[in-house]
Amino acid sequence: MKQFKTLSFGLFAICLFLSSNLMAQKRDIYELKTYHIETPAQEAMLDSYLEKAFIPAAHRHGVDKVGVFKPIASQPDAGQKVYVFIPFKSLDEFEAFEGKLLKDQTYLKDGDSYINAAFDNPPYKRIETAILRGMSEHPKFASSKLTNDKKDRVYELRSYEGPTERLYRQKVKMFNSGEMDIFERLNCSPIFYAETIAGANMPNLMYMTTHENMEIRNEHWKQFGVDPAWAAMKDLEEYKNTVSRNDTRLLYPTNYSDL
């Protein structure tokens, strides 16, 4: 009987371990690409490629939605950057994606002017890439719940950098333990919350919320600052000094963006 109990406990532990791993695997993987551009011609070439070649190919190869965003006019980098958000179900899917594109003859044809651009007429200055994993309490991306015209919306992309890995993990814990709930309650319509697993500004987390317009965006942050739940958690000892830099980007979605 004792041996049977030991065996049963061992099987339970294995099942629990496998279950935990399965849950971890269900967290989305995101690729966030930032194209740095210098001219309207580069922007036009990139728009054409993304709309007519890349996004249709992504849909063909299992990526349901691709987000494409640009800085709003008031931002200092307006006209200089294009953000492309690509959600994958797993790292394996992410790793296989480029190979699928390179075998897709329709993609190669539709994207020819971008793919085979001359060295002295490139479609961008450079590309930055961050690989992200959805947070445990918000493991999947979501389309915005907003219904107003895309051109009027403000999409807010934030990166919170931590001074150390330990303090960064505490900020992630803060998000998973209630901070995300405040955004949800205030109808900030989040697209994603994620931990950066490869990128230029680690350790950092990133997230994107959406607002009908700038006035409502500002009102949301005003409400966030006085929210009772935020007041209760922001001064807790375990969450002090968890953010060394807040990088905020105010964006709008292109007319061909899925998100």
Are the beta carbons of 12 and 114 closer than 8 angstroms? Answer: no
Tell me, what CATH number does 218's domain have? 3.30.70.100
Q: What is the pLDDT of residue 1?
A: 52
pLDDT exceeds cutoff 90 at 27: yes
Residue pair 248/72 in contact (Cβ under 8 Å)? The answer is no
Read off the pLDDT of each residue in 189-212 and give the average, rounded to a whole number. 97
Question: Is 53 a domain residue?
Answer: yes
Percent of the chain with pLDDT over 70: 90
Burial class (CB in 10 A: 0-12, 13-18, 19+), 29: buried
- For 239, the token pair is 């969450």
Give the SS3 label for residue 215. Answer: helix
Q: Which residue has the tokens 């807790």?
A: 236
Residue 13 located in a structural domain: no
The answer to whether position 89 is within a domain reads: yes
Domain for residue 258, yes or no?
Answer: no
- Cα–Cα distance between 183 and 134 in angstroms, integer? 16
Which structural domain, as residue segments, surrounds residue 185?
Answer: 27-253
What's the rounded Cα separation, in Å, for the pair 92 and 88?
9
* % helix, strand, coil for the chain, step of 5: 45, 25, 30
Q: Within a domain: residue 4?
A: no
Give me the phi and psi of 249, to 5 degrees please: -120, 125
Indicate yes or no: pTM above 0.85.
yes
19 pLDDT tier (thresholds 50, 70, 90): very low
Position 211 in a domain = yes
Q: What is the pLDDT of residues 149-165, one digit of tens each?
A: 988 999 999 999 999 99
For 225-236, what is the mean pLDDT?
95
- Distance CA(256)–CA(259), nearest Å, equals 9
Spatial contact of 254 and 69, defined as CB atoms under 8 Å apart: yes
CA 165/CA 68 separation, integer angstroms? 30
**What is the pLDDT at residue 20?**
45
The stretch 130-138 carries a mean pLDDT of 97
pLDDT tens by residue, 51-71: 999 999 999 999 999 999 999
Lowest-pLDDT choice from 24-38, 94-108, 125-139, 212-226:
24-38
Number of structural domains the chain divides into: 1
Select from 250, 238, 158, 237 the least CA-distant residue to 204.
158
Question: What residues pair up with 82 in beta bridges, in sequence order?
Answer: 35
DSSP β-bridge partners for residue 127: 35
Residue 2 lies in a domain: no
Question: Would you place residue 25 in the very low, low, confident or very high pLDDT band (cuts 50, 70, 90)?
Answer: low
> Does residue 12 form part of some domain?
no
